């Protein structure tokens, strides 16, 4: 997402520069030589069209809707491009330590999968919350969940994170389906 | 809240690009919504039926000083051109990796290129127990250079031990070698990175 925003930003900058250049060029040219008026853009034709089209015509409405949608797309792209780093406590002055949520999820996942009764596990993590979804063939949720909660909480407690994420564990076991 | 130099060095700042993209998005959304509202007749049924290039507005424009209006529009165009080019170049410019100036006295100058610094620190960091791979960049500007250390740690590494080693050995040596008292550093850890097994 961050690369996308950088790219969008570059394109928008280019569009603004191009629009400014064309505006100054056309107005200056029309002032200097009114006889050969349109230089690059056929703006007299645009003016004639726009003078006949009403605000409630379907073209104007569709264009307005498209501009609005494009605005929403830009807003969403800009909003999603934030950093999701997980911060560690600073070990010394002027040293900042961070890791990625993916990294945190990998550590928790390796830990959970190493547990005896876990056959598979998926983990999603952010700085605020760690979600563990474990599959166990032999143990029911009631037995395994407290164990996993405890051991993952210890693992997270050992990491010097600035804020301890909330932990949620779900165990999926065929024993519970009977 | 001002961020410290080391906090700024964690990753490249996206603030300007994000802010400008966000602003354009808001403007486009407002424009689209405004024109739609006008077209739907929310500002009056008769106003919605008027042409887009309204004769009333054109009359008003025609009564203004033509020279003043043209100069104003040309100035706006040139300002937009300059701003747009600055914006474009800023967005596409790669991140700067400044050289570190060790000594700038009368007639003498001693700088260490960023590549020389980073290779030395990388080699140093990779000797730490548990560190699989290290990448180092010098970021920031010449006045406030900072280090960005990217460390890939093996599974089951004790983080506190790595921190102590990074601070005591790598950074202290870097500070001593560069002759600076503080060296702002952002450390980015990749935990549990797969250890490559070498096939024999």
The CA-atom distances, in angstroms, between A73 and each of A54, A67, B17 are: 27, 10, 15
ipTM above 0.90, yes or no: no
List, for residues A1-30, the tens digit of each pLDDT value: 788 899 999 999 999 999 999 999 998 888
List, for residues A87-109, the tens digit of each pLDDT value: 888 877 788 888 889 888 988 89
Using an 8 Å CB-CB cutoff, list chain A residues near B22. Answer: 74-75, 78-79
Instruction: Indicate if the alpha-carbon torsion angle B35, B40, B44, B47 is positive or negative.
Output: positive
Q: Which secondary structure element, helix H or strand E, spans residue B120, and what is its range?
A: helix B114-125
> How many CB atoms are closer than 10 A to CB B24?
21
What average pLDDT does chain B have?
A: 84
List, for residues B151-171, the tens digit of each pLDDT value: 888 877 788 888 888 888 888
Contact B81 A17 (CB under 8 A): yes
Kindly report the nearest CA distance between residue B106 and chain A, in angstroms. 30
The pLDDT-based confidence of B1 (bands split at 50, 70, 90) is very low
| Residue B142 in tokens | 């010449």
pLDDT of residue B31: 95
pLDDT at B149 exceeding the cut of 70: yes
- DSSP codes joined into one string, chain A: -HHHHHHHHHHHHHHHHHHHHHHHHHHHHHHH-GGG--SSS-HHHHHHHHHH-BTTSHHHHHHHHHHHHHHHHHHHHHHHT---PEEBPPSSTTEEEEE-HHHHHHHHHHHHHTSTT-SEEEEEE-SSEEEEEEE-SSS-HHHHHHHHHHHHHHHHHHS-BSSPPEEEEEEE-GGGG-
Contact B17 A68 (CB under 8 A): no
Per DSSP bridges, beta strands A95-99 and B185-190 are parallel
Residue to substitute from A16, A30, A130, interface B, most B β-carbons within 10 A = A16
Contact B88 A63 (CB under 8 A): no
pTM of the model: 0.77
pLDDT of residue A22: 94
Q: Which secondary structure element, helix H or strand E, spans residue B145, and what is its range?
A: strand B145-153
B 115-134 → A contacts, CB under 8 A: none
Per DSSP bridges, beta strands B145-153 and B185-190 are parallel
Question: Which of B38, B164, B189 minimises the CB distance to A99?
Answer: B189
What average pLDDT does chain A have?
A: 88
């Amino acid at each position: 997402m961050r690369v996308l925003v950088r790219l969008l930003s570059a394109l928008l900058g280019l569009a603004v520069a191009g629009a400014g250049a064309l505006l100054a060029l056309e107005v200056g040219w029309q002032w200097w030589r009114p006889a050969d008026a349109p230089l690059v853009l056929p703006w007299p034709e645009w003016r004639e069209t726009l003078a006949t089209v009403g605000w409630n015509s379907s073209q104007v409405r569709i264009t307005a809707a498209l501009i609005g949608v494009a605005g929403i797309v830009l807003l969403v792209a800009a909003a999603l491009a934030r950093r999701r780093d997980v911060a560690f406590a600073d070990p010394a002055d002027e040293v900042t330590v961070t890791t990625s949520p993916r990294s945190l999820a990998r550590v928790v996942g390796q830990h959970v999968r190493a547990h005896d009764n876990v056959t598979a596990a998926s983990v999603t993590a952010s700085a605020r919350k760690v979600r563990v979804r474990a599959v166990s063939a032999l143990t029911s949720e009631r037995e395994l969940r407290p164990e996993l909660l405890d051991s993952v909480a210890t693992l997270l407690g050992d990491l010097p994170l600035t804020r301890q994420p909330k932990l949620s564990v779900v165990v999926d076991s065929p024993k519970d389906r009977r | 809240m001002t961020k410290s130099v080391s906090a700024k060095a964690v990753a490249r700042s996206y603030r300007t690009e994000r802010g400008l993209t966000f602003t354009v998005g808001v403007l486009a959304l407002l424009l689209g919504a405004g024109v739609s509202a006008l077209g739907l007749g929310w500002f009056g049924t008769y106003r919605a039926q008027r042409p887009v290039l309204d004769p009333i507005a054109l009359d008003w424009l025609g009564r203004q000083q033509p020279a003043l209006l043209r100069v104003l529009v040309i100035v706006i165009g040139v300002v937009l051109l300059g701003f747009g080019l600055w914006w474009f170049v800023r967005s596409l410019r790669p991140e700067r990796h400044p050289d570190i100036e060790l000594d700038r006295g009368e007639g003498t100058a001693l700088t260490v290129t960023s590549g020389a610094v980073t290779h030395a620190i990388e080699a140093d960091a990779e000797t730490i127990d548990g560190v699989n791979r290290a990448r180092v960049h010098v970021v920031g500007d010449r006045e406030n250079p900072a280090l960005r250390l990217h460390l890939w740690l093996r599974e089951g590494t004790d983080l506190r031990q790595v921190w102590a080693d990074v601070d005591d050995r790598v950074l202290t040596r870097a500070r001593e070698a560069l002759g600076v008292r503080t060296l702002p550093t952002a450390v980015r850890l990749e935990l549990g990175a797969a250890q490559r097994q070498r096939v024999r």
